[in-house]
Structure 1
Amino acid sequence: MAVLTEYTPCIELDLCGRRWHLERAASLEALWETMGDDEFGEDERLPYWTELWPSSIVLARWLFANRASIAGKRCLDMGCGLGLTALVGSWLGARVVAMDYEPLALRFASRNAAHNNVPEPLWAVMDWRCPAVRAGACEVVWGGDIMYERRFVEPVLTFLEHALAPGGVAWVAEPDRAVYAHFRTQLESRGWQSARLVSEQTEALYEQPVPVTVNLWELRR
């Protein structure tokens, strides 16, 4: 992936043996400036979805390397943003439900399915505090960089406990944030097992002084 020096309306990257084209609305800063005061309430609907984060790159590579484990399976992308990992999963033959809190994110994710000639996942506007999938519906759940505040830990875990089928697996990619240590503590207290599968330095979309360290974890009950 070429490191960007300025905003581009389309991100192009070579990943998983092919080229991907991701259309997006605007830069994070530009969308932030258009937000009204009502959007800075408890939920803080900040437009993080318009960027492609290093965790998504690592997670997409993992899906590709483990495509036999997801082909034909009922899978859920938990916070799909621009749709990259949902599209990779669908391209690899998974039956993907891709959820996001922001309807605009899903509009661009759907466009990106068309841009990349990938079967459309089932796009779902969903709040993980109010699951819109039946209990135990998903054999595999994945998410990239979905926890960046401690207040997300309990609802994310509760959602996983609701959505994941018995014997299912969750893959969570995160950029070595301190909040994940709290998440792991809560995992253990609620009977989950976790193992770090990957820890690698990954270039961010925009140039940074050092690469981002991304960890990918496997969660089971």
Structure 2
Amino acid sequence: MSVARAPHDASPPAPEYRGPTTVSTFEFAGRSIRLARPVEPDRLLDDPAVHAWNRTDDYMPYWAYLWPGAGMLAEAVVSRWAADDPRDEVLELGCGLGLGGLAAMALGFRVSFSDYDPAAFGFIRRSVAENGFPAERATTLLLDWREPPDARYPRIIAADVLYEKKLVPLVAGVLARMLAPGGEALLTTPYRASAEAFPQAAAAVGLVSESEPAWTLDEAGERRPGTIYRVLRRPGVTPGSIAASR
């Protein structure tokens, strides 16, 4: 598995997690996914390097946690894309531990796991191996949503990336830049007030979004309500063309 570094990325890497690890197994629509993960992700919060990065760029090591939206995304991917052509490549935004991307790999898709912090990628490599997926069908990409690269993907997925209001237009902008014409994106989020602004932000950059209620069980077994956003790129519409029409 290769790691592609965005040429604009000048952020200092956060320290690697050095605590105990485990492998958890999850079931989605009859498919088992094995996920390598930190046992004590909170220990990263005490690291001086994390504090320094937080001061310069509001960084937090969110990648080390398994958020409720990740299970919702994996379920959506497996249930919605099972019959689709697996030759397409999938980009996972803000992948963290990569549960959604692993679900796509279980269907045979090639997946590019992207995150702002490369510390997540070691766990993803381990998860790919734990599941017996071909290593050559997974790549990793350092991605700053403020400066997305010039690349297009027919499918994009993301879980729980709308947790702050300021992130909503960034996510919409990345989708507008990186979703190929005619492409489809799936975003999932547990209920958050900030996410309610996403449909308007998506429309502002020429994307069509559909939403539907969903739910997932968190790791404590509690039912968590949320939303699935299905996002489509209208043919012939780009962020530049939207700006020019204003």
Q: TM-score, normalised by structure 1?
A: 0.86
Distance 1:126 1:189 in 2: 22
Distance 1:171 1:70 in 2: 16
Equivalent positions of 1:96-111 (< 5 A) are 96-111=111-126
Match of 1:125 in 2: 142
Distance 1:70 1:178 in 2: 35
Superposed CA RMSD: 2.1
Match of 2:191 in 1: 176
| 1:83 counterpart = 2:134 | no
Sort the Cα spacing of 1:35 and 1:92 in 2 relative to 1 into closer, same or farther, 3 A. farther
SS of equivalent to 2:166:
helix
SS of equivalent to 2:38:
coil
Distance 1:99 1:70 in 2: 22
Match of 2:174 in 1: 159
Distance 1:63 1:201 in 2: 14
**Runs of 4+, deviation exceeding 3 Å:** none
Distance 1:9 1:180 in 2: 31
Q: Which amino acid aligns with 2:27?
A: D
Q: Which amino acid aligns with 2:142?
A: V
Distance 2:85 2:48 in 1: 38
Equivalent positions of 1:20-59 (< 5 A) are 20-36=33-49, 37-59=51-73
| Residues 99 and 125, structure 1, Cα contact 8 Å, conserved in 2 | yes
Sort the Cα spacing of 1:70 and 1:58 in 2 relative to 1 into closer, same or farther, 3 A. farther
| Residues 210 and 230, structure 2, Cα contact 8 Å, conserved in 1 | yes
Sort the Cα spacing of 1:72 and 1:117 in 2 relative to 1 into closer, same or farther, 3 A. same
Match of 1:4 in 2: none
| Residues 63 and 88, structure 1, Cα contact 8 Å, conserved in 2 | yes
Distance 2:144 2:131 in 1: 27
Q: Which amino acid aligns with 1:109?
A: I
For 2:205, which of 184, 190, 205 is the aligned residue? 190
Match of 2:239 in 1: none
Higher radius of gyration, 1 or 2: 2
Match of 1:3 in 2: none
For 2:226, which of 192, 214, 217 is the aligned residue? 214
Aligned-residue offset at 1:179: 0.7
Sort the Cα spacing of 1:47 and 1:150 in 2 relative to 1 into closer, same or farther, 3 A. same
Which structure 2 residue ranges, 5 or more long, are not aligned?
1-19, 235-246
Which structure 1 residue ranges, 5 or more long, are not aligned?
1-6
Distance 2:224 2:184 in 1: 25
| Residues 89 and 153, structure 2, Cα contact 8 Å, conserved in 1 | yes
